[in-house]
Amino acid sequence: MNPSCNLFIIGPTGAGKTSIGRRLAAHYGLPFVDLDQEIERHCGVDVSTVFEIEGEAGFRQRESALLDEQSQRPGVLLATGAGAVLAEHNRRHLTERGYVVWLQTSIEQQLERLERDTRRPLLAGVDRHEKLQAMALVRGPIYRDLADLTVPGEHGSVAAASERCIALIDHHWQRTPTAWPQQTA
């Protein structure tokens, strides 16, 4: 168990991190931060444009900087981007600063949920099934290692998935007060 005042949501593209994260934040009375949306707000353009101009490396630098900044806030629910877990320093920030919830989903569910989505630069112009499978092979073990709690993916509504998450989180999360402990140098 990882006691914390913060909840961090990780998982693959299309797992429902944003949709479920918003509901969880409302339920727990926490401000909600979607890391991709925060990048867009800071840059003034969408993620696809950041990828186009700066490439994946530039995007990942921005993502890491904002993950560091936002994960330091006490009492926040942060939904990461699917690939934020790739950087070791991001993984350290997540595990040290919050209770990490992994939303699982199958590749078939991802394909169904992302069928009409054209905003994901890593899925543009590629065989989506093959790309999602390759990402799952790399990221799945990382998600597993980071997670304080794993929520199995199931078909159904966002409301039903959110209620499942709340039941599991309530059973496992040891929520601490939002006063952030003093860090010593």
Residue-wise pLDDT tens digits, 91-112: 999 999 999 999 999 988 887 8
**How many domains are contained in the chain?**
1
Q: What is the pLDDT of residues 51-106, one digit of tens each?
A: 889 998 999 999 999 999 999 999 999 999 999 999 999 999 999 999 999 999 99
Residue at 62 is within a domain: yes
Q: What is the pLDDT of residues 115-172, one digit of tens each?
A: 776 666 666 666 878 888 998 999 999 999 999 999 998 767 889 899 999 999 999 9
Average pLDDT over every residue of 40-49? 92
User: Is the pLDDT assigned to residue 184 strictly greater than 50?
Assistant: no
CA separation for the pair 11, 151 (Å, rounded): 10
CATH of the domain at 164: 3.40.50.300
CA separation for the pair 127, 124 (Å, rounded): 9
Residue at 177 is within a domain: no
Mean pLDDT, all residues of the chain? 89
CA separation for the pair 73, 32 (Å, rounded): 11
Residue at 183 is within a domain: no
The domain of 85 spans 7-172
Residue at 178 is within a domain: no
Residue at 185 is within a domain: no
CA triplet 121, 125, 128: central angle to 5 degrees?
A: 85
Give CA separation, 72 vs 33, 84, 109, in Å. 12, 16, 32
Contacts of residue 167, defined as CB under 8 A and 6 or more positions apart, other chains included, come to none
